[in-house]
Structure 1
């Protein structure tokens, strides 16, 4: 990039997005969608689970201090939003949104409940999790949508998942991974940059 004397604009360095926040910026329980705060009573609706995994880049190198945000419907497929015609019936104890960040090893985790299915624009959405990433190595936030393997019939009809070529859809499935703290766990590792057939699938927003 060159300096333009007519508008006196100088080139800026091509840094990735910021600012970046230290772990102390986040509050305990930020990654727990089952309650409104760390000392609040958790929801009694739905099946609690843990989603965890690793964020890495090319060469499978871990990406530390990556911020992840996750949002979803409640156990009955409702959102606490005026955009949802059934929003007034949404679970009052379920916050539906959370934030996590990666450790120096690139690890992250969320605690939530299995989301319900719902109708959107006349089409049935399969239970899913929306995840946004921002941080080191990304020029802008990126978003992906994760699905559960046990809902194969609903997955096959989900309009967003069907935007992905059929042979690649399994790359958006979380994987059962035993238990963590006595509740079912699922794993989803995220590759921000790498070979096209391995890099995590992100959607334009």
Structure 2
């Protein structure tokens, strides 16, 4: 049996400061006192858990999972795929991956979203999948549109899709989001600009993958998720990784 490789150190300089003035809501949300470390308990690490039967075959197809029979979501059809990996590029199988997003007009199906873009009756904006034995996941969806948000007089979020990655239990959850290659709004977004490292921002960009595209049907984008180490994906809710 080979010896375990040492863990790669995390680059904590990647993470944005809690109080980032250009990202307006951080002014009120940033902690004013030092953080207190609370060690995880046995219940945090062990449960509750989920089973494979909780995932339905159509859950990963956002084009149809909310649509009326025979209908499909409106917008540019894309395949969003990738792998969940550890720091040594080993696959993480049977990982629950969930996504949620705005529609092709830039509007979420949420009661508090009052953007002028119309809702799509055939698009719910969320899906989930389990990674296979190679750590791979795949979603069929539409390319979300940018949308305005009340951060400043003319603030727009780049097109993006939110990700939630679970470990072996629901308490083990990491949250991030991916942008799309070539989007000119990324460099103007106060949320993305809060990240001090250009390399960390680059880790949040899904790459155009013409090899996986379906001719005359949909383009493909690849977004790999690395759980820890210097090559880790930047997660919004847990700086230390999974």
Q: Do the structures match in fold with TM over 0.5?
A: yes
- Structure 1 unmatched runs, 5+: 1-10
- Structure 1 residue 157 displacement after superposition: 1.1
After TM superposition, the structure 1 stretch with the greater mean CA deviation from structure 2, 161-170 or 29-38, is 29-38
Q: Higher strand fraction: Structure 1 or Structure 2?
A: 1
Q: Following the alignment from structure 1 to structure 2, what is the Cα–Cα distance between the partners of residues 203 and 53?
A: 19
8 Å contact from structure 1 (residues 35, 95) kept in 2: no
Gapped regions of structure 2 (runs ≥ 5): 1-39
Measure how far apart 1:64 and its partner are: 1.1
Specify which of 184, 191, 195 is matched with residue 226 of structure 2.
191
Is residue 81–residue 87 contact of structure 1 (8 Å, CA) maintained in 2? no
Which residue of structure 1 lines up, in the alignment, with residue 11 of structure 2?
none
Paired residues of 1:70 and 1:132 also in contact (CA < 8 A): yes
Please say if 1:125 is aligned against 2:154: no
> Using a 3 Å threshold, how does the CA distance of structure 1 residues 14 and 22 change in structure 2: closer, same or farther?
closer
Match of 1:150 in 2: 182
Q: What do the CA deviations read for 1:117-161 (whole angstroms, capped 9, x no partner)?
A: 11111421110010011114996311111001121x211111221
Deviation at 1:103, TM superposition (A): 0.8
TM-score (normalizing by structure 2)? 0.71
TM-score by length of 1: 0.83
* Misfit runs of 4+, over 4 Å: none
Pairwise CA distance, 1:42: 4.2
Aligned CA distance change for structure 1 residues 160 and 129 (closer, same or farther; 3 Å)? same
Matched residue pairs, number?
A: 192
Q: What is the RMSD computed on CA atoms of the aligned residues?
A: 2.5
